[in-house]
Each structure stands twice: as C-alpha cells, then as structure tokens.
Chain A
C-alpha cells in the first residue's frame, strides 16, 4: 500500500511544550482520526505538515515527497480546513474564491459551484457575515475544488452544530469513494470519528499513545466494571487505567476476551467509545 502521509521521528520544541519524535502513517483510501486533548500537539503536527512551522528533526513525506523540498507541488494536492476561518472577512465568497483559485493549477470551477449549491452558500455575501458552519463549508468547498488527494482538517467541527457535523461526515465518506484520496482529521470531539474513521491516532503531551485501526480498538478494547475487591489481585498491566469509586471500579483493558476469561461473570464488559479510550490514556499519563 502506498502511504499518502508519512511522518517519522518528528520533533519540535517550544518553551513549554514539545513534540517528542512522533510517527504517523496514513495510506491512501482511508480516513484517519487524529485525537487527543487540547494542547496535546495536534495543531502543531498539522502546522509542521503544512510547513507553517519548521521542524527540529524528523521526516514528513506527503505523496512520497518531502513536504519542505517539494512544498509547492505538495500543497497543490492538499486541501485544508482549519478550526478558525482564515479567509479575508472583508471579501465576498466569489471574490475570495477568485483569488484562491488563481493559485491552484487544477482548480475546478464546476466542482466549486456544485458544492456552493449543495451547501447553499451565498456567493455575494461577505465572509464576515457567514455563520461558523457556513465558513467551514466554504473552506471545505475550496479544499474540495482543486482535485486535492489529501484533505487535512484541524478541528473542523469545533463549535459546529450536530447537523453540520453530520453533513461533514457524509461528505468525507463521499470523498473517499475515490480510493486515491485520504483524509487526516484532527479533533477532540471523538464522536465525530466513531463512525467513519478507518484509523485512530491518539496523541497526548507530544507523544503518540496509540495508532491503529478503529475497529481493532472498538472490538478488542473493553470498558470493564466490577467490585473493588477484584482489584486486590489484579495484574495492573492488563489495565490501562483504573478509576475507583465508592461502590466499585471502572477500567479500560486492551484485550476484553482475556479479561472476560479471567474474571468470568464477576465483571461487566462494554465496548469503549473513542472518548473512553482517550480519557483513560490521557489520565494514565497524568498519573504516572
């Protein structure tokens, strides 16, 4: 399989935070969810991919090409949507489009018009007069109108209502109908990814905690609940993190079948949500 995005040993230090040599690989044809709490390094990683920041060490390859050396070629084929609107608020949609379109060799006006119609965006309206959802849809329309192969999104759904978020997910699954395309999607609202993400990468405090198929995570990991007396003879390696309360405990385990064998019907095991996984891993890091 050909990787569309390959990050190896990426490092970047700031005064109060650093990315500690992260690795990420995304194959074409798939959607990767990049999750983690605020301040974990998601935006920094994306800014490094887009060469908005300079890395201290490591390799970033997009479409197999170095993202700095082949910056312009790579950016021709990337569509981006950021959490905040960065378009000129003073311009109308059609003015802004004209300017942005001029930089892409493969700009497709008919695709753009199709999305504008689908998203019901008013061409003559100034960007500052659009709602947050409309601004995101405009960014998305731009990102999808130059035949980009890789869509990079940084918290695109933050502050959007559930309806728009659902629409976005449907569009994303529409995009990867073309198996040469891929989506890299950062968010702390994990429920967005619960459905359609193929891979999940969890980052915390500048380190990749896990990166695997979402199905593997949902099908193998388990959220376990049981009485506290069980904890006395527990091998704590099996448990990613344990949360005790007055009446029992809740824990995340990596292999729910093994846990079920060990404790039989003394415990209840449920499928974890991505949020559960994120919370347990993040908390573990804080406790250690």
Chain B
C-alpha cells in the first residue's frame, strides 16, 4: 500500500512543484485574507493533487493494472485516502518553510504563524472535501465525478450560506442554544477532541463507502 502512495507522488512530480508555487502565490496575493489564507490554499492544493492522481488513473486505465496485481481493492482505496494526508503534510511543511524564509529574509509580507486551531481547521476542511468526493469518484469514475463535483461545489457554497442564514434566524431555538451552551461550557481541548472524533468518524464512513463502491466496480 505504501508503494501505491509513492506511485501517486512519483507520477505527480510536476504537480508538486506547481502546488508549492501555488501556496507561495497565495501567501503573496491573499494577504488580505489573513489567517484564512492557509486553509484555503491547503484545500486547493490537496484537492488539485488528489484530482490529478485520479485523472492519471483514468488516463492510464490503471484500474485494470492495479486490480490484476495481487492487491486488495480496499488497499487501493486506502492508499488514495492516505495520500491526501501526505499531500496535506507536504503542504503544511512547505508553507512553514516559506514563512520561515520570509521572516529570515525580512521580506515585507505579513505572515501568520500556524496555530493549532488553524492547522486542525485546515485539515478538517481538507477531510470534509475529500470525504465527499472520493466516494463519488469510486462510485462513478473520474469523468462523471467531475460533473458531480461541479454541482456539489455550487451546492456547497449556496448551501453553506443558506445554512448560516437559517441558523441565524433560529438563533433562539432550543437546540441551537443547547449546542452553543455545550461549546461554551467545555474547555478548548474537549472541543478540539470532539471535533477530531467527528472528523475521524466522518472519514471512516467515507472510506467504507468508497471501498464498498469500488468493490462493486467492474473494469
């Protein structure tokens, strides 16, 4: 399985350089976004890398190859999920390196140190996204998935603004209050932990769905 991840990294040498360049671009161009620039940049980069990895699978028809080798289908899916983590770690490291360089050379750019909240928030955003689109990819294949993603993208944006509005209007309702009061009474650590548990469960669910779909695919 480790070698499947290596493979995804090897076939994307060019994309990795592009990814780092993109992060650098974000650092310069989105100065106004403040701390939010990093989660946005990281989501964009991991999304791009995992999309290209899948595009290459499609282009090479490698499902035929991988499934003819003695590999469990579940491992093929698991490798894809883990590779996203690798992309994220690489993104974090290169961002850290860039901040360090900027500060060392006294380049006149505002930098925001990576706080734990931002780090976890960024990873959560990455998970939220991959968790949705991987099952779609394993169900429909790359070409159809791209269409589905387009739709999803819009739903996500409109949906989130609608949801915020809905929540605001129901500010007084009981269960919203309950949730708010729950978070207010808990320590930061507990909130982070609950958050992490939710994300992990969400990813496990997503993975099981993907594996289930992929097991049923025919090539």
Residues of A at under 8 Å CB distance from B?
A: 47, 50-54, 71-73, 75-76, 78, 80, 82, 84-91, 95, 98-100, 102-104
The total of Cβ contacts below 8 Å across the A-B interface reads 68
Contacts A86-B65, A91-B10 given; does A75 touch B70 at CB 8 Å: yes
Contacts A86-B60, A86-B61 given; does A50 touch B68 at CB 8 Å: yes
* Contact between B7 and A50, CB atoms less than 8 A apart: no
* Contact between B60 and A87, CB atoms less than 8 A apart: yes
* Contact between A103 and B61, CB atoms less than 8 A apart: no
* Contact between B67 and A52, CB atoms less than 8 A apart: yes
Partner of A103, one of B6, B62, B64, B71: B71
B45-80, CB < 8 A from A: 56, 59-65, 67-72
Q: Which residue in chain B gives the minimum CB-CB distance to A86?
A: B65
* Contact between B3 and A72, CB atoms less than 8 A apart: no
Q: Indicate whether B219 reaches chain A with its CB closer than 8 angstroms.
A: yes
| Chain A residues whose CB sits within 8 angstroms of the CB of B218 once the complex forms | 47, 52-54
Q: How far apart are the CA atoms of A258 and B26 in the complex, in Å?
A: 85
* Contact between A52 and B56, CB atoms less than 8 A apart: no
Q: Indicate whether B101 reaches chain A with its CB closer than 8 angstroms.
A: no
* Contact between A95 and B62, CB atoms less than 8 A apart: no
Q: Could you tell me the distance in whole angstroms from the C-beta of B35 to the nearest C-beta in chain A?
A: 36
Partner of A88, one of B62, B64, B69, B219: B62
Partner of A91, one of B7, B63, B64, B70: B7
| Chain B residues whose CB sits within 8 angstroms of the CB of A87 once the complex forms | 60, 62, 65
Contacts A75-B70, A99-B6 given; does A91 touch B11 at CB 8 Å: yes
Q: How far apart are the CA atoms of A89 and B63 in the complex, in Å?
A: 14
For the residues of A in contact with B, the DSSP-based class is loop
Partner of B10, one of A54, A78, A95, A100: A95
Contacts A50-B68, A80-B68, A103-B71 given; does A88 touch B60 at CB 8 Å: yes
For the residues of B in contact with A, the DSSP-based class is helix
Sort A-B residue pairs by CB-CB distance and give the 10 closest, nearest first. Answer: A86-B65, A75-B70, A102-B3, A90-B11, A53-B218, A52-B219, A72-B70, A86-B64, A103-B69, A76-B70
| Chain B residues whose CB sits within 8 angstroms of the CB of A104 once the complex forms | 69-70
Q: Mark B196-217, 1 if CB is under 8 A from A, else 0.
A: 0000000000000000000010
13 A–B contacts, CB within 8 A, in A order: A47-B218, A50-B68, A52-B68, A75-B69, A80-B68, A82-B64, A87-B60, A88-B60, A90-B11, A99-B3, A99-B10, A100-B69, A104-B70
Q: Which residue in chain A gives the minimum CB-CB distance to B65?
A: A86
| Chain A residues whose CB sits within 8 angstroms of the CB of B11 once the complex forms | 88, 90-91
Q: Which residue in chain B gives the minimum CB-CB distance to A78?
A: B68
Q: Which residue in chain A gives the minimum CB-CB distance to B216?
A: A54
* Contact between B10 and A53, CB atoms less than 8 A apart: no
Q: Could you tell me the distance in whole angstroms from the C-beta of B56 to the nearest C-beta in chain A?
A: 7
Q: Could you tell me the distance in whole angstroms from the C-beta of B213 to the nearest C-beta in chain A?
A: 14
Q: Could you tell me the distance in whole angstroms from the C-beta of B80 to the nearest C-beta in chain A?
A: 15
Q: Which residue in chain A gives the minimum CB-CB distance to B70?
A: A75
| Chain A residues whose CB sits within 8 angstroms of the CB of B60 once the complex forms | 85-89
| Chain B residues whose CB sits within 8 angstroms of the CB of A100 once the complex forms | 69
Contacts A47-B219, A53-B218 given; does A103 touch B67 at CB 8 Å: no
Partner of A75, one of B6, B56, B68: B68
Q: How far apart are the CA atoms of A91 and B68 in the complex, in Å?
A: 19
| Chain B residues whose CB sits within 8 angstroms of the CB of A71 once the complex forms | 70
Q: Could you tell me the distance in whole angstroms from the C-beta of B202 to the nearest C-beta in chain A?
A: 29
| Chain B residues whose CB sits within 8 angstroms of the CB of A75 once the complex forms | 68-70
* Contact between A50 and B67, CB atoms less than 8 A apart: yes
Q: Which residue in chain B gives the minimum CB-CB distance to A139?
A: B65
Q: How far apart are the CA atoms of A104 and B3 in the complex, in Å?
A: 12
| Chain B residues whose CB sits within 8 angstroms of the CB of A78 once the complex forms | 68
| Chain B residues whose CB sits within 8 angstroms of the CB of A89 once the complex forms | 59-60
6 other A-B residue contacts (CB within 8 Å) besides A47-B218, A71-B70, A99-B6 = A50-B68, A51-B67, A52-B67, A86-B62, A87-B65, A103-B71
Q: Mark B1-17, 1 if CB is under 8 A from A, else 0.
A: 01110110011000000
| Chain B residues whose CB sits within 8 angstroms of the CB of A51 once the complex forms | 67
Q: How far apart are the CA atoms of A52 and B62 in the complex, in Å?
A: 12
| Chain B residues whose CB sits within 8 angstroms of the CB of A86 once the complex forms | 60-62, 64-65, 68
| Chain B residues whose CB sits within 8 angstroms of the CB of A50 once the complex forms | 67-68
Q: How far apart are the CA atoms of A91 and B2 in the complex, in Å?
A: 17
Q: How far apart are the CA atoms of A103 and B2 in the complex, in Å?
A: 10
Q: How far apart are the CA atoms of A150 and B69 in the complex, in Å?
A: 14
Q: Which residue in chain A gives the minimum CB-CB distance to B61?
A: A86
| Chain B residues whose CB sits within 8 angstroms of the CB of A98 once the complex forms | 3
| Chain A residues whose CB sits within 8 angstroms of the CB of B6 once the complex forms | 99
Q: How far apart are the CA atoms of A52 and B10 in the complex, in Å?
A: 25
